[in-house]
Every structure is written in C-alpha cells, then in structure tokens.
Chains A and B, each alone.
Chain A
Amino acid sequence: MSSPIERMAERLKRYLMLFSHKVESKDQNSVIKITSRRRMFPADLNISVAETARGTGIAISENKKWYSLVLLIPFILISLLAILEFTSFLDISHSLHSVGKFNLITLFLGNSSLGWGFVVFLMLLGLFYALLEYLDQKIRVQKIRQRIEYFLRDAIWEPSESPAIIDIIRASYSVILTIYFLAVIYFAPMAMNSDTLASLIQVYGINPSDLSDAIIATVVVDLSLIGGLLVSIKTLNLLQYKNQVHRRIFQEDTKLEKRVFLLGTGFLAGTVVGVIGGVFLSQLFLVDMTITQLSVYILLSAIGGIAGIILVNEEESWPYIGIGIWFFFSSLWFLFRTSDEAAYAWIILLHLFLIPFPIILWLNSKLSKELKKQQINDPSWHFSPFPFSLYSRLIYEFLNRPEKMQKEELKRVEDALTLEEGAVLSQINIETIKAKGKKAEELAKTYFTVIRGFQTNYSIISRIPSNQEIETQANVKIQGIDLVLIKQYLNTCDQLLWDTEFKLKGNVDELIEIGNLLTFYFGVEAKE
C-alpha cells in the first residue's frame, strides 16, 4: 500500500515529533519533502526523503538561519539614535533635543559618552545574543542529526536539547530590555529641559544633582532585584517547558525536585543578568557608577535570582506580588529618609506609581496559559517588549487560519465523497447516505474530516484510526468533553456509513455539534 520512502517519511515524522516538532509533508514524484517546525521559535527544518541507488536517502537542512539577527533590532535602534546624535546627521538631532518638554537623546541614552565605541559596544552585545540564538538552533539540529541513526536502527537513545546555560543567557535578553525601559522611566526627569525639571523639584527644594544621586541609588537596588527575579522566573519556565517536552530525560517535574540544582540555576541566572545588565546600564544611564555600586548591583541580582526561584516554587504569581510589595514598603522606608534627603520624596512618588507595573509582567504568564490551549508553549517571549518569536508564530497562524484550512479540508472531503474511488471510500455508497437526509450527509462529512486530521500510529500502515484511538486522543486534547457522547457519535457514524438499513434518530443536532467540535480540534492540523 505504501512505498519504502513513504514508510521512511512516516517514521521520520514520528521521530521529529519526539523533539516536539510539528510536521508537515508534501509528496512529490520521487521525493517526499517534510517541513518540521518547532512549536514556538521559528526554527524550521527542511527534510527530504528520496529513493537513491543505495536505498532511502535522508537530507536535513536548516531554514530561517537569518532569524537570530532579528534580535539585533533593539540594539540597532539605540545605536541609530546615538549615531544621529554624535555625527549630527542632517541636523535631526537638534530637533530631537526638545520634543515636548524632553530631550529625547537623554531620555533614551542617558548621559552616556557617545561615540563609535558606544555603538560598537551595543553591536557586540546584540551580536552576542544573536550568536547564542544561532548556536542554540545549531546544537538542537546537530542533536537531531546525531540521533536519527539510533532511532532508525531501533537502538536505545534519548532526545536532547541545548545546555541550560544557553537558556539562562537567552532568558536574560528580554529581561535586559525590560530593565532598559524601566530605567527610561526612572531617569525621565533628568531628560526634561531645565525649566520643567526646576518646576518638578521646586516642591522638594533640592538640586538636580541631589535628584540624580537619589535616582541612581534607587536604580541600583530596584532594577537589580527585579532583573534577578524576572530572569529566574523565565529560566525556570524555559527549563520546565523542556521537561514537558522531554519527560523521558527529566522524568519528574523540576518544580518539585532538584531544589538545590534550581537554586544554583537561579543564582547563576541572577549573576549573569547582573553582570550584563550592570555593564549595559553603566554605558547608558549609570555612567558615574562606582565599582561598589556595580558589585552591589550584581550581588542584589544574584539574591533576586535565588529569591525568584524560591517564590516561584511556592506560587506562580508570588514574584509579581513580591515586586509590588517591594515598591510599597520601600517607599515607606524612603519616607523616613526624606528628613535627611528630600530627593527621596520623588522616589516615593515613583515607587507608588510603579506598584501596578507587576501587573504587566503578570499578564505574560497569564496569557501564556491561554496560549497553552492553542499549543503554543514556548515561554521565550516572556517579559520581552520585542517578542519577535511570538509575532512570527502569530503571523504564521494567521496565514494558516483554521477557517481557511477547514474550507480546504471540507472541499477535499466532498471531492472524496463524490469523485475519489479509493480502496476505502469505494465501499461506501454515497447515494444511500444522501437518501438518508441532509443531516446524515453533514454528519458523514464531519466524520471524514475528523479521521483525516488524526495522528495515527505511523508504524501501522492503515491511516484510519480505530475508535479507541479517537477516544483517547480526544480525551487528551479536549479535557472535560463527554466520552459517552463521543462514543455515541462514532457508533452512529459507523452505522450510518456501513449499515444501509440504519436510520438517524434521537438528538442528531447534538451529534453534529460534537462532530464539529472534533473537526475543530483535529481537522485544523490536517495538512497531508
């Protein structure tokens, strides 16, 4: 019934699914082309299976290698602003100096010493992340390539992912961008023109330099802790995601086991984000940062990292509540400091206004739960103001809309009902179904869509799933659906198709509804 390359393609699909890939295949004359797509990150693989003189040949090549360069965009934007400023290109920077009441250059770049050195620093940082992303992709592909032989020979093997340290540094990317934008809010008063700044601080009776000192001291404490907390949450999510994918490696949920390992991970993640973030901020906003401040920053980041792991282990939302509580109680503490330094009065106001900020962070994990229902699990977009991987995924989803897919699928089923004379379908007399009424026809259509959408056991040649398979897969995918109703639906459809004497009775509409529901869940993925 199937040729050797078809069988090989089926096996390969099953293999790639173990690496949490979504697989599509296209039959060409003597070659089968498989596109393998990771759930979230657009790391696509192109696989060709072909008949050669020596047997079946397999070729794996990467797709979208350029993607990692997208991570450079935020750094390019900042660099462009800097280049506009210090080369005074077309005199645009002049107009940027007073936009409203702000100097945009100071707002986004702080009082950093601008020059080509600054641009090179930013580009190197961006390239570091881009290279890491590429390396991550490369390692994953390499591991897929290495293990394919073992799989085909039925030897003992395990799926594997890139090392955890790469995840930690990847997690720090979006956290550093978040810290950057927070720093813009913190240092916004210093970017105001002198009149506005004077009227801002006249209530407190202080100099701008006092305000600057107070802001720097606060930034060193606040942003380090927030950075550490966020990076540990994100690292934990990334690790947990891998556990879900490869249960065979970890066996058990990391949230419950290996606490010491996780605390170490949190410490490492906090230190990494402390070092990168501290150096990054010292080039932009904290130009006058002393070595003491930098070490305090790194130390607090590491503490934040550990605290993040401990808090997440207790409850998913505790870190966010923790940040809110920190903003509130630290402003109470500053209340006592205002007697010595009046500049902290502004910091109190700033902290009170930043209390709702954790809600924005919490939205990420809240919405990722919603995305899980749509099978988008990868948390690599969390906390990032530029979530390119998510957007690319959404664009992909938009281009392959369910309704569009569904229409095509329905059309194909209709064609199958009327035109195709395959081995299976020829046994069904279409006229008898049509004679049973419009509802019967509708029910039959849903049934064929459901069958086509099913992921059958590929080692078995037959493509039609058993009722048992449909029941178990439906139960896994749609939790809470009534199994009795599914059974009733399947039995009715079977009888409708094979039994010429059978007549529909009872609540047919309900069955059609179940059919539609199953079509929605399983028909969407049918792309063969």
Chain B
Amino acid sequence: MTLRPKHRILFTSILISTLLATLLFSPNIVSVKAATNNYLIELPDGTNVTAQVTSSLSWNTQSNNVTVNFHLADFGENSSYVIFEFIKYSIILTEENLTEYYSLTSYPYINASETDFSHEVELLTPDGADDFLIEITVRMTNSSRLIDLGSEFFQTYTILFPENGVITVDRDQVFPLIDLYGFPERSAFLSWFLVYFLVLTFMSSPALVLGGKRLYLLNKRRKMK
C-alpha cells in the first residue's frame, strides 16, 4: 500500500503529535500499586511487635516513600518499653546490596500508652535495576525502664519487603534519551523543549503552508494529464 503525499503528510503529523503527547503526558501516568505487608517480631521475653510495611510496588525512576509502622501487640513479663536503636533500609538487587540508609538518632520507644511508632523514609531508586527487594533491618530491645542502654542489649531483626514478588521500576521507553548525563531535570527540560518546538513550528509556518499549496498544484497537474 502506498500513501499519497497528502496522506503521508497527514500520517506523519499524526505520528509526531502522538509522540509529543506521549512525551508530555507520560510522567503523569504512573500506575500506583501500593502493597502493605505485616510481619510479627517476637522479642526474647515474649513481647510481640507487629511491623507493617507500606510502599508502592512499581517505583518511578526518581524516588519513593517507604513507611514502616510498629505496633505493640502484647507485653511479655517484666517489661514496659520497647526501645529502638536504628532502622536500616537496604535495597537488595540480585546479588549485592547497593544502597543503605540508616535512620533514627534519638532512641524512640513504644509502651502501653503509645502503642504505635511509624517511620517514613524517601528512598532513591537504584540506577540500572529493573526489579529489587528492600531489606529493613531494625535493632530494638525490651526494657522495664527508660534508660540509656548499651548497644549490646539491642537485637537485630530483619524484614524483607515485599513478601511475595519484587518491586519493579516503572521506566518509560522514551525517556532514556532525555535522561542522559548532563541533561537537566526532565520536566524543566520538557517545558523548555515545548517553547523550542512551538517557536520552530511557527517559524516554519510559511514552508508548511507552501508545502500544502505545492501539493495542491501538483495534484491539479496530475488530474489534467
């Protein structure tokens, strides 16, 4: 099938405008698949803490939020506080840990009156990975009083998020071109590019008009023949 010149121009313009529309609107179409997983952590004296991890399962290329909520389920003997030392977030690719992020400076705690402690962190999406897991390492201990404790009292517990499957990175097929090294931030650059494109289109308007006119005359001649 061969396209007529007139239709070819129409086809090309439709193609270009579709491409541009994709460029402009694709940052907004990021599908949100949030997941919440519950974990039960048992401390040595029988205190039970549930950890609830919430995050999206398809991350964008910049950064994403991970929320961990610790809830005191029930106390064991002789303890009225659960004290946290730190929380470490590790992004696990297939073999090696790529990024690690430590948090908590003062020692937060939960007790019978304040049964919930939640921590939210913004993690950067790893470069060059399509899917990964998050390992959340939390060090905590149970205590009867709220005192400064040595590091040796705390015990390490590890949670792997998500329980089933992996977190995938939602990468656009078009954007690797613009996300090259040395290019500015995408949305700012696109807004400049919009001006660039509109101005150049306007400047080539006489040529566009003439192109149509030329085709019109050529068609006339063909008909005459």
Interfacial residues, chain A to chain B (CB-CB below 8 A):
100-102, 107, 178, 181-182, 184-185, 188-189, 192, 196-197, 199-204, 345-346, 349, 353, 357, 360, 363-364, 367, 370-371, 374, 381, 384-385, 387, 390-391, 394, 397, 402-403, 513, 516-517, 519-520
Q: Could you tell me the distance between the alpha carbons of A227 and B205 in the complex, rounded to whole angstroms?
A: 19
Q: Is the CB of B191 within 8 A of A516?
A: no
CB distance from B197 to the nearest CB of A (A): 10
Q: Is the CB of A387 within 8 A of B185?
A: no
Residues of A within 8 A of B221 (CB): 520
Q: Is the interface of B mostly helix, strand, loop or mixed?
A: helix
Interfacial residues, chain B to chain A (CB-CB below 8 A):
182-185, 187-189, 191-196, 199-200, 202-207, 209-211, 213-214, 217, 220-221, 224-225
Q: Is the CB of A363 within 8 A of B195?
A: no
Residues of B within 8 A of A517 (CB): 224-225
Q: Is the CB of B195 within 8 A of A203?
A: no
Q: Is the CB of B184 within 8 A of A200?
A: yes
Nearest to B186 among chain A residues (CB) is A199
Name 15 A/B residue pairs within 8 A (Cβ), A-sorted.
A181-B199, A184-B195, A200-B184, A200-B188, A200-B192, A203-B182, A203-B183, A353-B196, A363-B204, A367-B211, A394-B209, A394-B213, A397-B213, A517-B224, A517-B225
Q: Could you tell me the distance between the alpha carbons of A200 and B183 in the complex, rounded to whole angstroms?
A: 9
Q: Could you tell me the distance between the alpha carbons of A373 and B65 in the complex, rounded to whole angstroms?
A: 65
Q: Could you tell me the distance between the alpha carbons of A203 and B187 in the complex, rounded to whole angstroms?
A: 13
Residues of A within 8 A of B224 (CB): 516-517, 519-520
Residues of B within 8 A of A197 (CB): 188
CB distance from B109 to the nearest CB of A (A): 39
Q: Could you tell me the distance between the alpha carbons of A385 and B33 in the complex, rounded to whole angstroms?
A: 48
CB contact under 8 A between A513 and B225, given known A181-B199, A390-B206, A391-B209: yes
Residues of B within 8 A of A101 (CB): 187-188, 191
Q: Is the CB of A345 within 8 A of B182?
A: yes
Since A197-B188, A520-B221 are in contact, a sample of 12 more A-B pairs with Cβ atoms closer than 8 Å, ordered by chain A residue number, is: A100-B194, A185-B199, A189-B192, A199-B188, A200-B189, A200-B192, A353-B196, A360-B204, A364-B207, A385-B205, A391-B209, A513-B225
Residues of B within 8 A of A188 (CB): 192, 195-196
Closest 9 CB pairs of A and B: A200-B188, A363-B207, A199-B185, A101-B191, A188-B195, A387-B206, A360-B204, A200-B184, A367-B210
Residues of A within 8 A of B213 (CB): 394, 397
**Which among B183, B200, B206, B214 has the highest number of chain A CB atoms within 10 Å?**
B206
Nearest to B213 among chain A residues (CB) is A394
Residues of B within 8 A of A202 (CB): 184-185
Nearest to A516 among chain B residues (CB) is B224
Q: Could you tell me the distance between the alpha carbons of A364 and B207 in the complex, rounded to whole angstroms?
A: 6
Residues of A within 8 A of B191 (CB): 100-102, 192, 196
Q: Is the CB of B210 within 8 A of A199?
A: no
Nearest to B223 among chain A residues (CB) is A403
Nearest to A203 among chain B residues (CB) is B184
Q: Could you tell me the distance between the alpha carbons of A516 and B222 in the complex, rounded to whole angstroms?
A: 11
CB contact under 8 A between A178 and B203, given known A367-B211, A517-B224: yes
Residues of A within 8 A of B199 (CB): 181-182, 184-185
Residues of B within 8 A of A374 (CB): 217
Residues of A within 8 A of B194 (CB): 100
Residues of B within 8 A of A394 (CB): 209, 213
Q: Is the CB of B225 within 8 A of A516?
A: yes
Q: Could you tell me the distance between the alpha carbons of A128 and B174 in the complex, rounded to whole angstroms?
A: 48
Q: Could you tell me the distance between the alpha carbons of A403 and B220 in the complex, rounded to whole angstroms?
A: 8
Q: Could you tell me the distance between the alpha carbons of A223 and B154 in the complex, rounded to whole angstroms?
A: 68
Q: Could you tell me the distance between the alpha carbons of A61 and B109 in the complex, rounded to whole angstroms?
A: 98
Q: Is the CB of A364 within 8 A of B206?
A: yes
Q: Could you tell me the distance between the alpha carbons of A414 and B224 in the complex, rounded to whole angstroms?
A: 19
CB distance from B118 to the nearest CB of A (A): 30
Q: Could you tell me the distance between the alpha carbons of A397 and B194 in the complex, rounded to whole angstroms?
A: 34
Q: Is the CB of B220 within 8 A of A360?
A: no
Q: Is the CB of B203 within 8 A of A385?
A: yes
Q: Which of A192, A204, A513 is in CB contact (< 8 Å) with B192?
A: A192
Residues of A within 8 A of B189 (CB): 200
